[in-house]
Amino acid sequence: MILLLTVYSCSDFKMDGDTLVEYRGKKANVIIPEGVTSIGNEAFLSNQSLISVTIPEGVISIGSLAFIWCNNLTTITMPSSVASIGLGAFSGCISITGVTIPEGVTSIGDGAFRYCSNLTSVTIPSSVTSIGDGAFSYCSNLTNITVDAQNRIYSSVEGVLFSKDGTAIVIYPAGRQEENYIIPSGVTTIGTSAFAGCISLTSVTIPLSVTYIGNGAFQACESLASITIPESVTLIEHYAFFRCVNLGTVAVSSKTEIGVDVFPVTAQITYSNLLPGYEDFEIEGTTLVKYIGDAENVTIPSDITYIWDYAFAGCSSLESVTIPTSVTYIGVGAFFECTGLESITIPSSVISIGNGAFSGCDNLRTIVVSNETEIGEVVFPYDAQIIYSD
Say which residue, 255 or 245, is predicted with more confidence. 245
Cα(269)–Cα(372) distance, integer angstroms = 36
C-beta of residue 311 within 8 angstroms of C-beta of residue 338: no
306-307 and 329-330 as β-strands: parallel, antiparallel, unpaired?
parallel
Cα angle 208, 212, 213; round to 5: 105
- pLDDT band at 273, cuts 50/70/90? low
Say which residue, 2 or 284, is predicted with more confidence. 284
C-beta of residue 50 within 8 angstroms of C-beta of residue 73: yes
pLDDT in tens, 366-384: 999 999 999 999 999 989 9
C-beta of residue 181 within 8 angstroms of C-beta of residue 175: no
Nearest to 85 by CA among 59, 105, 69: 105
Which residues, including other chains, have CB under 8 Å from residue 350's CB and lie 6 or more apart? 323, 327, 328, 329, 330, 369, 370, 373
Share of the chain above pLDDT 70, in %: 96
pTM, to two decimals: 0.72
Share of the chain above pLDDT 90, in %: 83
CATH architecture group of domain 282-390: Alpha-Beta Horseshoe (3.80)
C-beta of residue 89 within 8 angstroms of C-beta of residue 111: no
C-beta of residue 331 within 8 angstroms of C-beta of residue 309: yes
Q: Where are the beta strands (DSSP E) in 186-335?
A: 189-190, 203-205, 212-213, 226-228, 235-236, 249-253, 257-258, 268-272, 281-284, 287-291, 297-299, 306-307, 320-322, 329-330
Torsion of CA 83, 87, 93, 96, to 10 degrees: 30
DSSP string, 240-265: TTTT-TT--EEEEETTSEE-TT-S-T
Greatest CA separation for the chain: 97
pLDDT in tens, 212-249: 999 999 999 999 999 999 889 999 999 999 999 999 99
